[in-house]
A and B are shown apart, each in its own frame.
Chain A
Amino acid sequence: MNLIENIKLAFASLKSNKMRALLTMLGIIIGVSSVIMINTLGSIMENSVTDTFDSQGGSNLIGFQITMKKDAARDYLMPDDFISEEMIESVEQRFADDINVVSVMYGSENGTTRHKRETLDLVIYGVSPGYIKQSMTEVIAGRYINDKDIRKGGKVCAISNKQAIKLYGSVKDAIGQTLSIKMYGSMYDFTVVGVYEYRMTGMMSAMVNAMGEDWNNEVYIPYTTLSEMYGETDPTFYYFYVHINDGVDAESFASDVKNYMNNRYYRNNDSIEIFYQTAEAQMSMMSQVLGVVSMVISVIAGISLVVGGIGVMNIMLVSVTERTREIGVRKALGAPNSAIRSQFIIESIIICLIGGLIGIIFGVLLGNLIGIIVGTMASPSVGAILLAVSFSMAIGIFFGYYPANRAAKLDPIEALRYE
């Protein structure tokens, strides 16, 4: 008895009971589609997490910020608690060999500008020159905020390529233009010195694109300029970032800086100290979360595959019983036990394979549906599809074997007498 005949037979038998076949496949469909969906989502997320990680400076980025001591005497902040420019400068000098650049973001403020009778919303960030390293942006024309701007507290700014095109027609034409920004009810004139563009891929860029204008309306100005507008002559910070040189050990550098700052500036502070977080640590936390999520879903998928397999076994047992007489006739006509066995195993495999294929289609569709929402199309890996297909086949064989063997071992006379 050859394979093609068995496959035809299996399809004929499934066709005669379509509804039952579909219900039987349900467990397999759910199991396989969730596996494929997880795989699709997993690759979307992983890509975007590593993209973000890399575009922010990768493992060379360390964040320092103030935090409450364990035995804090207060639960509110005082002006002296904040990180001062002086502190950052002393860190820069003390660890000059290890530091590539330090970056701060003093604060952000909402503002507006008028353009052809339209009022455009802007978000103004007061930053240091190093901030570009972690802002996932790249200067495509002119320059970014520089040290001279910081010293002078100059009224200069960098705008996004989308803003440049919208306001001035092109990226090139934006340089040197004056951007009038309304903040706190007063007008300030800024000179556009640079145009930046987001450089992101995967989910992050999808999110940025989805938010469109809102994300591209960030205007970067020197932090000294912003603090002056606030009326604060000595700007202070809640946190700052350090990009270390390649080859410097992030962990030991970070703890050295922390200890240095705590000894020197926070020893007598009753409530506040410095703490740090390396990008590596953040990253591993993210991947841990992702790992747990996909573990949980995989377990669910696995359970539904096993339940699906038991469903297939159940239906195959019913099918064997229903066709007892047919089995008897086949044996009387000379079918060896092996032919009967393979007939039913192949039927079981076909059920599982069809279920698996429907599952793959569903999984890809669902994964892409979510992909469309976050803006990236994704397809599951070939490996995942092969795994799903071979897993469905394995389930078909495993759970089909017992019923098929039962059919094969039926006594031909008893089978023929079966009513």
Chain B
Amino acid sequence: MNRPIIDMKGIFKRFYIGTPNELEILHGLDISVPEGQFVSIVGASGSGKSTLMNIVGALDRQTEGKYVLDGIDVSKLDDTELSGIRNKKIGFVFQTFNLISRTSALKNVELPMLYAGVPAKERTKRAKELLEIVEMTDRASHMPNELSGGQKQRIAIARAMANDPAIILADEPTGALDSKTGRLVMDLFHKLHKEKGKTIVLITHNPELAEETDRIITLSDGRIISDRMTDKEAAE
């Protein structure tokens, strides 16, 4: 096994801390994901999947516990360093795509590189390559409102790949798509996993899609109730 790229120990998340309605959502999770693994996280609505994902993606901080991302202890970083981590180590894919409106597909893909300080020429060159990978070259100059849901999600995946991140985090990326389009998006993740060796964490409500990944972590009320390798992985 490769070294862990996500290494979490005793992660707690509480809201309304210090008030009478203090709420504990995650109750001490231990998760370790090795480099190159395709993990899916499943569980009922409200079980804390997105809350966990936000911590993994350095958008949020755990209340308690230790999280080492690609060898960096995230809890020790300030806001600016965290944004640097999100920029270079993480690629987010959202259920609602979240492309920047009135900004072309190409410019959307360039955005993370802009914040990374990549020179304009290089940015455009790489963005074009990424659009080619997601087979959206012919839509480069289109605005988000001229694209279908599936097309938007493919642009979003290209954007997530922009700075060649260590991890791609996808929170229900097929949730807003029909099954056929969802299939295409899923195939894209498999492609990135196999061909680029990306570590991917996928949140999904679809058990069949989860079975396609290497490993399934099941959450219930902020606790891991199951963490298993899939048959596919076992077979290999």
B59 near A: Cβ within 8 Å? yes
A289, B160: Cα distance in complex, Å: 67
What's the least CB distance linking A331 to chain B, in Å? 7
Most buried by B among A2, A13, A337, A416: A416
Query: What count of chain B residues pass the 8 Å CB interface test?
Result: 27
**Looking at the complex, which of B1-9, B96-104, B202-210 is the stretch in contact with chain A?**
B96-104
A335, B101: Cα distance in complex, Å: 17
A339, B114: Cα distance in complex, Å: 10
B73-116 near A? 1/0 per residue, CB < 8 Å: 00000011001111110101010001011110000000110111
A366 near B: Cβ within 8 Å? no
| A334 near B88: Cβ-Cβ < 8 Å | yes
| A333 near B60: Cβ-Cβ < 8 Å | no
| B60 near A413: Cβ-Cβ < 8 Å | yes
What's the least CB distance linking A321 to chain B, in Å? 15
A212 near B: Cβ within 8 Å? no
A329 near B: Cβ within 8 Å? yes
Contact partner of B111 (CB less than 8 A), chosen from A12, A16, A333, A416, is A333
| A329 near B115: Cβ-Cβ < 8 Å | no
What's the least CB distance linking B35 to chain A, in Å? 21
CB neighbours (8 Å) of A328 from chain B are: 98
B49 near A: Cβ within 8 Å? no
| A5 near B114: Cβ-Cβ < 8 Å | yes
Would you list which residues of chain A between 390 and 419 have a CB under 8 Å from chain B? 412-413, 416
| B115 near A339: Cβ-Cβ < 8 Å | yes
A98 near B: Cβ within 8 Å? no
Would you list which residues of chain A between 4 and 53 have a CB under 8 Å from chain B? 5, 12-13, 16
CB neighbours (8 Å) of B48 from chain A are: none
B54 near A: Cβ within 8 Å? yes
B159 near A: Cβ within 8 Å? yes
| A332 near B92: Cβ-Cβ < 8 Å | yes
Would you list which residues of chain A between 331 and 348 have a CB under 8 Å from chain B? 331-339
In the complex with contacts A412-B59, A413-B54, A413-B60, A335-B115 CB distance below 8 A: yes
User: Can you name the residue of chain A whose Cβ is closest to the Cβ of B92?
Assistant: A332
A325 near B: Cβ within 8 Å? yes
| A329 near B59: Cβ-Cβ < 8 Å | no
User: Can you name the residue of chain A whose Cβ is closest to the Cβ of B165?
Assistant: A334
A36, B165: Cα distance in complex, Å: 53
CB neighbours (8 Å) of A2 from chain B are: 114
CB neighbours (8 Å) of B114 from chain A are: 1-2, 5
| A326 near B101: Cβ-Cβ < 8 Å | yes
A337, B86: Cα distance in complex, Å: 13
B222 near A: Cβ within 8 Å? no
Contact partner of A334 (CB less than 8 A), chosen from B83, B100, B101, is B83
| B80 near A12: Cβ-Cβ < 8 Å | no
User: Can you name the residue of chain B whose Cβ is closest to the Cβ of A415?
Assistant: B59
What's the least CB distance linking A390 to chain B, in Å? 29
A335, B59: Cα distance in complex, Å: 12
A105-134 near B? 1/0 per residue, CB < 8 Å: 000000000000000000000000000000
CB neighbours (8 Å) of A5 from chain B are: 114
User: Can you name the residue of chain A whose Cβ is closest to the Cβ of B101?
Assistant: A326
B173 near A: Cβ within 8 Å? no
User: Can you name the residue of chain B whose Cβ is closest to the Cβ of A409?
Assistant: B79
Most buried by A among B80, B115, B163: B115
B57 near A: Cβ within 8 Å? yes
What's the least CB distance linking B77 to chain A, in Å? 12
CB neighbours (8 Å) of A413 from chain B are: 54, 59-60
Sample (30) of A-B pairs whose CB atoms are under 8 Å apart:
A1-B114, A13-B102, A326-B100, A326-B101, A328-B98, A329-B98, A329-B100, A330-B100, A330-B111, A331-B83, A331-B86, A332-B98, A333-B86, A333-B112, A334-B85, A334-B87, A334-B90, A334-B112, A334-B116, A334-B163, A336-B79, A336-B115, A337-B79, A337-B80, A338-B80, A412-B59, A412-B60, A413-B60, A416-B59, A416-B98
User: 5 additional contacts, CB 8 Å, given A331-B86, A334-B112, A335-B87?
Assistant: A326-B101, A329-B100, A334-B86, A334-B163, A413-B59
